[in-house]
């Protein structure tokens, strides 16, 4: 007998799995072919795993070293079987792998899956492809025997709230000496998946490049291979069609879109390896995973090793594909992957090549690159913060929203349009384009026609905190440190004299009075060269953090809270009223106007005043006093 033949144990599905099954059972997806691609992919993974494990433990193959995947349609029984002789699963692995979804972001994934248009692409990316079988089957039996163990187990579910796990019968155990056998009891409307030509069509469309033979068994029990089972990346580029690349991308990346960029090349010399990489058109579902892991698969001489080798930096984690080395040892451990000099060399070469190819795309096909940047630009910009070695290359690649155009611009274009005497590249960081465009800190730049980069991605507040330059021109924040636009001519020269701030004793008295009124709410009060229309703004010191970074850190309780500098437009009527109030000895008015100026500056930065009720009270009081004085 096979192990413990006691009665089957019933288990409840994890809540997320139950919801997922409900979506599959009542699926609105028309492209149900995805289920076969997913089950074949899982079988391929199982074969990859045993081949890798057998390097150290050859006895696992036990004389059965021809790894293959079999499709067995049975018209009489209305079943389709997908079988492999890979690593197999024991009882606990059946429960863990088929009863739970142990992934972060599950709820977000399920929400996305409810969108029929997007759902098909998410199924494989999230690693829950097995459940797609419930789109075509009303009952599934999984018989599995893990290599190196003596027991065979059966998992059964009808797609309801639970499943059963039991020891296999002698007959079932005999049929699965190693690996996994999935039997789908097909729904009435899925009968086409019993037809050989239909199964062959799906395999050729989605799984032709699976490295293990996929065999289709006919009603006489004879098997024939229906996939190419060749490593596409090892073939010459001249032998591969665009359609071949597209299908390979979809199989490797578990995606349904078209690749925006394909890299296929071989490196020969001190070490040899083949590369097949794809830049997607649409963002993968796991792009924002906090782990920031890449998904480039590492092979050694066509043997799959891992997809966790971090072959590309985290800021290129959207790239999918394969690297196949001829020189690395097959028994690579995680520690060896981190420290192996050959792997480090591969990593360096891959990152440089991907960035070079993206630069080439930007030059040859600006529209195609714009789509790539629209999908992955915020991720690539993480490299500006992390990758000092390639920072210059990444800056050249980066595209920016600016005050000069409704289309994205490069720094090369920016520098080509510098104003006379302009020696710096100006930028402003915030949380939305519209809010930045209305920010008063742009006023002096706008008066001179100076283009300003508008940065709204969260990473922008971090990479800009480090000194940056492009073609010898430093990047300068409009909300940090001192600014001097004096040498750049105004668009309206007639306004030049009026715009220059005064340094009179009266102005100094105003600055002193405001500082005394506001106390330690601010670090300094000074006359502004940024403002031409607004009364006040808040900036950071040259030695401190930019204002947007301070806000981000404060929200996360990570050390924000440095006191800002309040800059005043000394020509503004509200600021001049301070002098009038001082002359009249109206100390309360001075305090109220100073507080109002500070609150206005916070609001213009997208912040709520520290004391909203006090702000409203002061504003109302000043308006009432103004009306009374006018009456």
Binding residue positions for ATP: 38, 42, 84, 89, 97, 104-105, 125-130, 180, 334
Do residues 126 and 285 touch, judged by C-beta distance below 8 A?
yes
Distant-in-sequence, close-in-space partners of 29: CB < 8 Å, separation ≥ 6: 116, 119, 120, 135
CB-CB neighbours of 252 under 10 Å: 23
Do residues 74 and 194 touch, judged by C-beta distance below 8 A?
yes
* CA dist., res. 436 & res. 407, Å (int): 16
CA distances from 348 to 235, 272, 312, 344, 379 (A): 24, 14, 8, 6, 18
Nearest to 190 by CA among 235, 139, 232: 139
* CA dist., res. 139 & res. 164, Å (int): 12
10 Å CB burial of residue 236 (0-12, 13-18, 19+) is exposed
Do residues 135 and 24 touch, judged by C-beta distance below 8 A?
yes
10 Å CB burial of residue 219 (0-12, 13-18, 19+) is exposed
- E strand or H helix at 538, and its extent? strand 536-539
Nearest to 50 by CA among 40, 60, 39: 60
Nearest to 299 by CA among 272, 341, 328, 270: 328
Nearest to 39 by CA among 121, 142, 166, 145: 142
* CA dist., res. 311 & res. 322, Å (int): 10
- E strand or H helix at 70, and its extent? strand 69-74
Residues of each annotated binding site: 38, 42, 84, 89, 97, 104-105, 125-130, 180, 334
- E strand or H helix at 275, and its extent? strand 273-279
10 Å CB burial of residue 132 (0-12, 13-18, 19+) is buried
- CA angle, corner 317, sides to 259 and 128, nearest 5? 80
Do residues 127 and 85 touch, judged by C-beta distance below 8 A?
no
SS (H, E, C) 466-507: CCCEECCEEEEECCECCCCCCCCCCCCHHHHHHHCCCCCHHH
Do residues 519 and 584 touch, judged by C-beta distance below 8 A?
no
């Amino acid at each position: 007998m096979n192990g413990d033949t006691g009665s089957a144990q019933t288990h409840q599905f994890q809540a997320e799995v139950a919801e997922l099954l409900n979506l599959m059972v009542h699926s609105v997806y028309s492209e149900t072919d995805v289920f076969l691609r997913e089950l074949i992919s899982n079988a391929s993974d199982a074969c990859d795993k045993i081949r890798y494990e057998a390097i150290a433990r050859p006895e696992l193959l036990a004389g059965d070293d021809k790894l293959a995947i079999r499709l067995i349609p049975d018209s009489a029984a209305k079943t389709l079987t997908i079988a492999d002789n890979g690593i197999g699963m024991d009882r606990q692995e059946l429960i863990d792998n088929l009863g739970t979804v142990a992934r972060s972001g599950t709820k977000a994934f399920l929400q996305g899956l409810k969108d029929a248009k997007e759902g098909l692409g998410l199924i494989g990316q999230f690693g829950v492809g097995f459940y797609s079988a419930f789109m075509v089957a009303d009952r599934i039996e999984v018989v599995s025997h893990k290599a190196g163990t003596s027991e065979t187990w059966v998992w059964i579910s009808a797609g309801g709230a639970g499943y059963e796990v039991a020891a296999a019968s002698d007959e079932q155990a005999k049929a699965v000496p190693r690996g996994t056998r999935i039997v789908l009891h097909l729904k009435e409307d899925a009968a086409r998946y019993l037809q050989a030509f239909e199964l062959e069509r799906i395999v050729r469309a989605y799984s032709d490049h699976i490295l293990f033979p996929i065999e289709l068994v006919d009603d006489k029990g004879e098997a024939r291979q229906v996939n190419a089972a060749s490593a596409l990346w090892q073939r010459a580029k001249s032998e591969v069609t665009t359609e071949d690349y597209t299908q390979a991308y979809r199989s490797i990346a578990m995606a349904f879109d078209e690749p925006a960029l394909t890299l296929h090349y071989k490196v020969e010399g001190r070490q040899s390896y083949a590369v097949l990489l794809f830049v997607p058109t649409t963002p993968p579902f796991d792009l924002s995973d906090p782990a920031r892991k890449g998904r480039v698969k590492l092979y050694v001489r066509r043997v799959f090793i891992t997809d966790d080798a971090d072959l590309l930096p985290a800021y290129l984690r959207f790239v999918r594909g394969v690297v196949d080395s001829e020189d690395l040892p097959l028994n690579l451990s995680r520690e060896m992957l981190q420290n192996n000099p050959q792997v480090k060399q591969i990593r360096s070469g891959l990152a440089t090549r991907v960035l070079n190819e993206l630069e080439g795309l930007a030059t040859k096909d600006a529209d195609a690159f714009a789509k790539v940047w629209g999908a992955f630009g915020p991720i690539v910009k993480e490299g500006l913060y992390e990758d000092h070695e390639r920072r210059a290359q990444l800056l050249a690649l980066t595209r920016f929203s600016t005050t000069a155009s409704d289309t994205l611009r490069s720094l090369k274009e920016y520098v080509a349009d510098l104003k006379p005497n302009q020696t710096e590249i100006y930028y402003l960081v915030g949380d939305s384009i519209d809010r930045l465009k209305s920010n008063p800190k742009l006023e002096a730049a706008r008066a001179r026609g100076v283009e300003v980069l508008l940065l709204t991605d969260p990473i922008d507040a971090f990479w800009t905190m480090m000194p940056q330059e492009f073609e010898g021109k430093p990047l300068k924040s409009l909300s940090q440190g001192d600014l001097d636009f004096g040498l750049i001519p105004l668009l309206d020269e007639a306004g030049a004299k009026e715009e220059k701030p005064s340094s009179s004793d009266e102005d100094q008295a105003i600055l002193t009075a405001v500082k005394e009124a506001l106390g330690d709410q601010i670090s300094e009060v000074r006359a502004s060269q940024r403002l031409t229309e607004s009364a006040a703004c808040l900036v950071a010191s040259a030695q401190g953090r930019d204002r947007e970074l301070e806000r981000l850190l404060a929200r996360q309780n990570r050390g924000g809270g440095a006191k800002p500098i309040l800059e005043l437009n000394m020509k503004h009527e509200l600021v001049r009223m301070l002098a009038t109030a001082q002359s009249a000895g109206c100390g309360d008015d001075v305090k109220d106007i100073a507080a109002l100026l500070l609150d206005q500056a916070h609001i213009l930065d997208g912040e709520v005043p520290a004391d909203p009720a006090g702000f409203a009270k002061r504003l109302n009081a000043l308006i009432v006093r103004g009306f009374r004085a006018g009456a």
